[in-house]
Structure 1
Amino acid sequence: PVINDIILNRLGYASYLLKNTSYAISHISGICGYENDVHFMRQFKKFVGITPSEYREKSDVGQ
């Protein structure tokens, strides 16, 4: 479905921002089109498997 493509696009961009910026997660959620931070975090975990914070921490290890 188209909605899954939209969600995956948003989360892909969020992943990029989490890896490459120091923006707050709430700010990234807004940039990616989410009005609710909690919804963003739940959706991120559902599709990616870990929370945005965990994703950022794992990304930092390799740098």
Structure 2
Amino acid sequence: MCKLLRLKEWLSSGLEKVYFIVHRHDGTGAHLLAKYTIEQFNKHLCASIPEIVLQPGTMDEVV
């Protein structure tokens, strides 16, 4: 949450665009982490980032 507060402060100070990368060294759960991150950005930063849509079958083996 601390990072979100910092981003919120920067946005209030005039920041217009943020590039954010979600990465996991082994790839497992990266899609879940990305989904959670987007949900939090939308909730706490009043963002309107669309939900990630995965192709069917692409993450079946990673959960």
Question: Do they superpose with TM above 0.5?
Answer: no
Q: With structure 2 as the length reference, what TM-score do the two structures score?
A: 0.35
Largest Rg, 1 or 2: 2
Q: With structure 1 as the length reference, what TM-score do the two structures score?
A: 0.35
Q: Choose between structure 1 and 2: higher helix proportion.
A: 1
